[in-house]
Copies of this chain bind each other. A is one copy, B any other.
């Protein structure tokens, strides 16, 4: 098996030098994978081997969902219209089964390891690794009495962290979206490279960024039975509230104390921020507005504002000039 793996690595490495025209293998491909490939206009060619399949579809989660075309060599192909720059999740559906494209690196989204293709942004390099000082992303595990488990987080430390041994830093807690996990901001989002570049340019202060696993269930509590319950149903909303509250306690009682004990943080509310995408934005609003003693800066990217408890600080801050949130419903701009 090792031999086969090695042979694949060597053989596959041929392909990237043989691309015709403007299409090139995506930067999100595994080493040597010829497909998917992207052209200068953002068109993406997908190619999947499934010689005995009857129907193969490609499913771009925020793009085309289309039948692929079977070729005489047993591969199925599809070329998208130009896609907007950025990272595009996709899967392939082979005779009714949904899978990741083996030519792509895997990115955790939709509660599974999915494929994705990076469509470059012409003229932009703010998200690329550049010749600037680099921070380091650390993988850490902390034990949470709230969940009764070891939990994994990624922690970005700025470039000068090791050398400036007496300097303390502000902390941003940065949460992933629903279906994603703690790896998303680095793997999909390149948060570390963006921070390196911003810090080098002087447009961001050196900071510690903590990216935690956003799912939590209290120790000893069984999983809820949501069989047949649609999104938006009272049962699902209740489960979300319980998960959000468990995560709130995990962040405030386990994660923050761990981070402040482990790294040279400035451990006060004026130097502690939280932000998140979609579900992570909802969690951010819930946690920060319930703990204004802990957080001074709050950010939501397409952040849902459901599922919060009715504590007065939440209502007060969320409803200034707005309709009060309905804890039984969920809205998001994403």
A residues sitting closer than 8 Å to B (CB atoms) are 1-17, 30-32, 48-56, 61-62, 74, 89, 94-100, 102-106, 108-113, 129, 131, 134, 136-141, 143, 150, 162, 165, 177-181, 186, 192, 215, 217, 222-227, 229-231, 236, 239-240, 243, 262, 278-279, 302, 330, 332, 334
Contact = CB atoms under 8 A, between A and B. Distances in A.
A111 B5 contact: yes
A138 B186 CA distance: 13
Given A17-B223, A32-B111, A113-B113, 12 more contacts: A2-B179, A3-B231, A4-B110, A4-B231, A10-B226, A11-B226, A13-B215, A16-B223, A53-B95, A56-B97, A94-B97, A139-B186
A14 B224 contact: yes
Given A4-B110, A95-B94, A177-B2, A55 B54 contact: no
Q: Which 9 A-B pairs have the closest CB atoms?
A: A5-B179, A6-B178, A50-B97, A99-B99, A52-B96, A7-B231, A51-B96, A106-B113, A53-B95
B112 A102 contact: yes
Contact of A9 (B3, B31, B100, B215): B215
Given A6-B279, A223-B13, A1 B61 contact: yes
Contact of A55 (B12, B52, B103, B134): B52
Nearest to A8: B111
Contacts of A31: 111, 181, 215
Q: Assembly of this chain: how many copies?
A: 2
B6 A231 contact: yes
A74 B93 CA distance: 14
Contacts of A112: 30, 102-103
Given A17-B222, A31-B111, A97-B53, A236 B10 contact: yes
Contacts of A53: 53, 94-97
Nearest to A100: B100
